[in-house]
Amino acid sequence: MPFPQNTALLGRVWRRSLGGRTGRLYLATGVAALTVYEYDRHFQASAISRTLRAFWTIAVISADYKINFRSERGVEYLNGIHERASRRLLSCCRDNGGLFIKFGQSIAVQSALLPPPFRRELSTLYDNAPSSPIAQIIPVIERSFPGKSIEDLFIDFSPTAVASASVAQVHTARLCSDPTQRVAVKVQKPEIQLQIGWDLFALRTCARLIEYAFEIPIMWSVNEVEERLREELDFEREGNNSELASRDLSTLGDRQLRRGVYIPRVFWNETAKEVLTTEWVDGTSLVHPQQLTSEGWSNKDIMQRMVSLFAFQIFVTGNVHGDPHPGNILVRQHPENHRWKEPQLVLLDHGLY
């Protein structure tokens, strides 16, 4: 049908299509939806959209299990349900970002409790989370140090993040106070403070849905998770935890443990609640086991040091790193040994203790 050239005819068509109550309702609903969407995107960091996406994902996964999970259908069929659920959950966590990356990482480490597809799919969240552009990062740094610009604090601040995690990203730089010192500057992503209330509301609601649908008592853990997540957003607390762990090693650890584990130094003059500045350490993440093998590291040597470290924290000091996923542990050559390969673990991200 050709487009009407007569403006009067076009006006009559327009009024006829929207003249009734239904047409006006459609128009009002569309305008309201667009207004809410734009407000959410620009002023709430898409918190409402992310919450609705989480509700929808959990509802679909729950319905899939409720309708299709039957033990008599065989392992292969049940694994198909697990695969679908884990992919949906991964997609939700990636699309939402922020604390949902942290939620997904927490699920991925529960390999003893959940089917293998959940660990396999969600373990990809350990590395390469989306990063925020430098134009959004600089204001976070400058508001953390009133009266100072980023040029007053750092030299050669990298314009792109060298690592990005759930709630923060890391840039390299050198200190203005000591230009020879290369540092890692961990900056909280600007949208996190806007999103945290909605994200924790989504977590609590989804937990209630799962508990109701499957009679699994998990609500007891939500308050603990909420408390710990809020602690993790305080980078000054993380700096204190880091120094506590380092002090424990130097005063209570034996010589072998002190040589086998290193914790980067904190620079307090460049640290605040949303910015943590530490010594930069080169190493290979446990996220990349094939690279560790190609570099000639022994899995046995690495595991011996890891077991010794966490046994020391659990049974000797009681100050235990609460987020030991592979992305938070590096392996490097011991800097004082130039004769043979001697692995040293570098323990990062001390936000949860």
Among 40, 199, 248, 323, which one carries the catalytic annotation?
A: 323
Nearest CA to 170 among 141, 144, 204, 196?
Answer: 141
Nearest CA to 120 among 154, 174, 79?
Answer: 79
Compute the half-sphere exposure of residue 182: CA atoms within 13 Å on the CB side of its CA: 7
Structure tokens given for 130? 């989306």
Structure tokens given for 167? 């709630």
Those residues whose C-beta lies under 8 Å from the C-beta of residue 15, and which sit 6 or more positions away, are: none
- Adjacency order of strands within the sheet including 284-285: 261-262, 343-347, 329-333, 284-285
Whether 297 and 210 have beta carbons less than 8 Å apart is answered as no
Look up 254 and say whether it is catalytic: no
Alpha-carbon gap, residue 140 to 145, rounded angstroms: 9
User: Angle between the 99-108 and 75-96 helix axes, to the nearest 10 degrees?
Assistant: 150
Q: Which residues are known to be catalytic?
A: 323
